[in-house]
Structure 1
Amino acid sequence: MLKPTVGPIVGHTTFQHARLFLRGAPVTNAWVFAGLRYRRTGDPNWSKGFFAELTTDRDMSAVIALHDLASDTEYEYQAGWFNTGNTRPALETLDPLKLQWPRETYRFRTASSKACTPRSYIVGSCRYLRMTLGLPSAPAKGDRIFAAIKRLADTSSSAISALVMTGDQVYVDDMNVVAPDRDYPDILAKYRAAFSQPHIRALMASLPTYMILDDHEIEDNWPANAGGNDNSLYRNAMAAYEIYQASHGPAGEQPDDQPPHYWYQFAQGDIEWFVMDTRTRRNLSADDRRIIDADQEQAVLKWLIHSPARVKMLVTGVMLFPDSKGNDSDTWKAFPEQRLRILESIRLHKIRNVLIISGDVHGSLTSRLRHTADPDFEVQTIVSSPFCNSAWLPFAKSSSFILDQPLAKTAAGDYYLEWTSEVISQDNFAHLTVHTEHIRVEYRDPDGDLLYSVNLPLHPPPQTLPLVV
């Protein structure tokens, strides 16, 4: 059995369930399979083997789902791929073959169901890995920060529960002027290069990883910049996205006979995440402008209003607030009616502890949204970007954003903004630790050194009044 060519990637992981992605390679005139086995760390015996056939329509990759795991438990596993020549055996006949498993062993931990316990997350976006003639240029630069994240994950006093990547994990359009990637094989090659660099590979093999796309998975400022010949680009880019990013996440659990959507939810104890797709379901018509489609908006509002979670993390690839000073038609600034509907729902339903998580702007910051007539209203944002910038792209600065005028005005009052951090204008990632009374946000550089930290307050849940009979 051979080592995976991409992966393994630990994806969506719950208290009893985990999804693991890996890729092999095509072999001429042969049937190819992926295999995985696991055990609790310290146990002497491995599980039976779990297998999946690898085919070219999934770029020789598969996701193997493990079930009936124990909560808050560390597991170790081995994974690889092999071929059976011109014979296509049934999957159930592969385990008795006594395969020679790869020597490398990986580890992951299932989630804990405990409430009000500290949980940590890594958040980031925008990982530029320039490709020239099909090869990454200076790949160590784009991979360096993931070595620091792996060291932090291995040594943090509060176990890190997940890596949340909020967009631009690949730049399909990184050489858009010189040699744009539009063909399916070229886009697949970009994903293979991006996810097989040594440090990100080691990190994703052990830490549950959640992803959502932004524009550069397709084309800069998609779909506003889409041209008449871009339909094939979109199909190719989304087919690759489904294989390498959506498949191992909650979106990959959708039935095959239903049209896919890329937004999803996941929960860990009393912390819940709603990861929006703010890129592929936009409506740019003047009479009904939407950055997310109607079904997704209703799902977001239902989750915000009815979820009992103590802390709600709402992920958006582009920033909900603050707005940039430029003529920006690509963010929520250009969809003010839909943004206001979400904010008004949070305010009128008195929903507490909503955190907006985003990236995109090549700068990191935290800020707080308040309301002039409603002192109890507060929504905070945590922005983390970029993992690795391009020398061609600027970093955001505090002067890039509008904070001296209301974000929105209503008959009931104005929504206004306050800084709660500096703006970090360099490559970085965010380490979030959710405590009972606050969320600690630490921005760290590509070596893992602390750049800036802030504690964002959390509010206790409203007290339930005793029933008077």
Structure 2
Amino acid sequence: MKVKPLTVGPILGAVTGDTARIFGRGEYKLSRNKKSVLSCVGVARIRALDSSDYDPPIFFKMSPAFDTSGVAVFDELSSETEYEYQIGYFLQKKEEVDQANINLDWSKAHTKQFQTASTDPKKSRSFIFGSCRYLLKLFGSWFDDRGDKTFESILKQINSGTTTNSLLMVGDQIYADDLNAIGADRTIEEFFSRYQETFTQPHIRELMGQIPTYMTLDDHEIEDNWPSKASPKDWVTLFPTAIHAYITYQMSHSPLFEIVDDKADVIGSPSKLWYKFTDGCCDFFVTDTRTERDEAESSDPAFEEREIINEDQFEALKKWLADGSERVKFVASAIPFFPDFKKTELDKWSGYLHQRTQLLEFIRTNKIKRVVFLSGDVHCSMSAELLCEEDPDFKIISLISSAFFWPYPHKSGSFQLSGKLKTTSLTSHSYTVTNAGPAHFDDNFSRVTCDLNSLKFQVFQRLGKLLGEKEHSF
């Protein structure tokens, strides 16, 4: 039986010290007599680089409900260890496969290498993050591939020996609403096609096959500034369609889904879209700041019923922040926590001042250290710190990285890069933005290298030129 190469993937998703998840898509077809459908069966195998033999292959379902895709799960791995894996699929008439006796030809399968995560809470880490990769779809089927140059530059760093432990994409991995009304995706087939084209361009495909990749959504996975313009019909047609495609291509290989019987359980409907993971000295909480919004009837940012995340996520975030791990606490939020634009934008955290003030007070009163927000969205990259005038022990850091690629002139935003951050009457303390900027408005990606004492934030232009770097201490 020949193992066919994947049509999308492999995407190396969540990797821990002893497990790894790998996403792949196949392509079913009709039997020769065209009276039945040949189903796709995913298959993968793995070996430690210091071993000459692969472990026995594992088989996983490629579900038509999820665009003929599935997730392979490897377990019982060793931390900080280099592995090689092969993955692909084959066509099968029957549901069941005689796994013990099947003879597989792996010559066409994808072969990649990766390293498992570190379980040492003091181990330094280096990761890439960014957001907003525009992939214009024109004339019905032609996609712009200029944004793939960004990922080529990242690969060049890796191939030159620069350690890269993970890749975080913090929103707008697709633009389903090309030119807004013109060419916007509405059907599940259109959304699936968008992801297929986006994730099969050569450099991003090569990168995601070897570096653990974590994602969260922003508005363009659905439509611009969702849900500000959503009609009741959009909530029951556009929203579930977009989210199903998002779960298929971005969440299925994430820690969102539990591993059940050595498989990622993506069959059920998730009750949330946020998750957390750990690697070395870094804890990550990947938020969903888009689908849980309650904008209430008031447009006042301080109105307490305006919520950017619901109560369950808010409580989970606070519990995670205060868990005493002593690692660096990275909060991935698609939109910036701070700095704000000089003019209040209701779409950002500045439009939800009640919750932001609550979170600031929680971090300060619980004396939580090493808190860093990672975000994108605003088509520029910069870093900043937030201090409290009345509490010298308080400090949080904001790192913003965007856009991976935007084919039009970048609009220079007007940010409040110093002075007091807007809060509500929930606090009598003054939070001050400091050590901010400079803002880089070129297409770019960012690298974060950190230990328990400090982090280095580097911004690279799309073609790999270093635009700037800054160090922040904890």
TM-score bracket for this pair, using the shorter chain length? over 0.9
1:191 counterpart residue number:
195
Offset at residue 436 of structure 1 (A): 3.8
Indicate how the Cα distance of structure 1 residues 217 and 257 shifts in structure 2: closer, same or farther if over 3 A, else same. closer
Indicate how the Cα distance of structure 1 residues 103 and 249 shifts in structure 2: closer, same or farther if over 3 A, else same. closer
8 Å Cα contact 2:419/2:434 also seen in 1:
no
8 Å Cα contact 2:410/2:442 also seen in 1:
no
Indicate how the Cα distance of structure 1 residues 367 and 186 shifts in structure 2: closer, same or farther if over 3 A, else same. same
1:144 matched to 2:149? yes
8 Å Cα contact 1:17/1:65 also seen in 2:
yes
SS in 1 for 2:229: coil
Indicate how the Cα distance of structure 1 residues 401 and 420 shifts in structure 2: closer, same or farther if over 3 A, else same. closer
SS in 2 for 1:378: strand
Identify which of 51, 59, 65 aligns with 2:67. Answer: 59
Offset at residue 179 of structure 1 (A): 2.1
Distance 1:272 1:455 in 2: 19
The count of aligned residue pairs is: 451
AA at the equivalent of 2:365: L
Offset at residue 326 of structure 1 (A): 3.5
2:40 counterpart residue number:
32
Offset at residue 331 of structure 1 (A): 0.8
Equivalent residue runs for 1:1-400 within 5 Å: 1-28=3-30, 29-84=37-92, 87-91=93-97, 93-94=98-99, 96-101=101-106, 102=108, 104-139=110-145, 141-157=146-162, 159-231=163-235, 232-253=237-258, 256-257=267-268, 259-285=270-296, 286=298, 288-391=305-408, 394-397=410-413, 399-400=414-415
SS in 2 for 1:150: helix
Distance 2:381 2:307 in 1: 26
Offset at residue 389 of structure 1 (A): 1.0
Offset at residue 112 of structure 1 (A): 1.5
1:407 matched to 2:407? no
8 Å Cα contact 1:247/1:253 also seen in 2:
no
8 Å Cα contact 1:263/1:277 also seen in 2:
yes
SS in 1 for 2:350: helix
Distance 1:409 1:59 in 2: 46
SS in 2 for 1:251: coil
* Uncovered stretches (5+) of structure 2, i.e. residues with no partner: 31-36, 260-264, 299-303
Distance 2:258 2:245 in 1: 17
Offset at residue 227 of structure 1 (A): 2.0
Deviates more, 1:405-414 or 1:46-55: 405-414
Deviates more, 1:404-413 or 1:100-109: 404-413
Offset at residue 279 of structure 1 (A): 0.5
Indicate how the Cα distance of structure 1 residues 257 and 247 shifts in structure 2: closer, same or farther if over 3 A, else same. closer
Distance 2:311 2:114 in 1: 37
> Please, what TM-score do these two structures have when normalized by structure 1?
0.92
Alpha-carbon RMSD across the aligned residues, in angstroms, is 1.7
8 Å Cα contact 1:421/1:454 also seen in 2:
no
SS in 2 for 1:234: helix
Offset at residue 400 of structure 1 (A): 3.6
Offset at residue 163 of structure 1 (A): 0.2
1:462 counterpart residue number:
none
Offset at residue 225 of structure 1 (A): 1.6
8 Å Cα contact 2:417/2:434 also seen in 1:
no
Distance 2:269 2:126 in 1: 34
AA at the equivalent of 2:375: S
Deviates more, 1:67-76 or 1:44-53: 44-53
8 Å Cα contact 1:181/1:187 also seen in 2:
yes
Distance 1:149 1:65 in 2: 26
Offset at residue 260 of structure 1 (A): 2.8
Offset at residue 104 of structure 1 (A): 4.1
Distance 2:453 2:417 in 1: 29
SS in 1 for 2:338: coil
AA at the equivalent of 2:421: P
Offset at residue 269 of structure 1 (A): 2.5
SS in 2 for 1:413: coil
Distance 2:84 2:406 in 1: 34
SS in 2 for 1:337: helix
Distance 1:127 1:307 in 2: 36
Distance 1:298 1:228 in 2: 29
Offset at residue 327 of structure 1 (A): 4.4
1:417 matched to 2:423? no
Indicate how the Cα distance of structure 1 residues 336 and 241 shifts in structure 2: closer, same or farther if over 3 A, else same. same
Deviates more, 1:208-217 or 1:371-380: 371-380
Distance 1:272 1:103 in 2: 34
Indicate how the Cα distance of structure 1 residues 361 and 227 shifts in structure 2: closer, same or farther if over 3 A, else same. same
SS in 1 for 2:393: coil
Deviates more, 1:268-277 or 1:322-331: 322-331
* Uncovered stretches (5+) of structure 1, i.e. residues with no partner: 459-469
1:438 counterpart residue number:
454
8 Å Cα contact 1:131/1:175 also seen in 2:
no
Distance 2:9 2:100 in 1: 21
Indicate how the Cα distance of structure 1 residues 257 and 182 shifts in structure 2: closer, same or farther if over 3 A, else same. closer
SS in 1 for 2:38: coil
Distance 1:23 1:74 in 2: 24
Residue identity (%): 35
**Deviation by residue 1:340-389 (Cα, 9 ceiling, x = unmatched):** 01000000111111001100000001011111111111111000001001
8 Å Cα contact 1:49/1:95 also seen in 2:
no
AA at the equivalent of 2:126: S
Offset at residue 299 of structure 1 (A): 0.3
SS in 1 for 2:232: coil
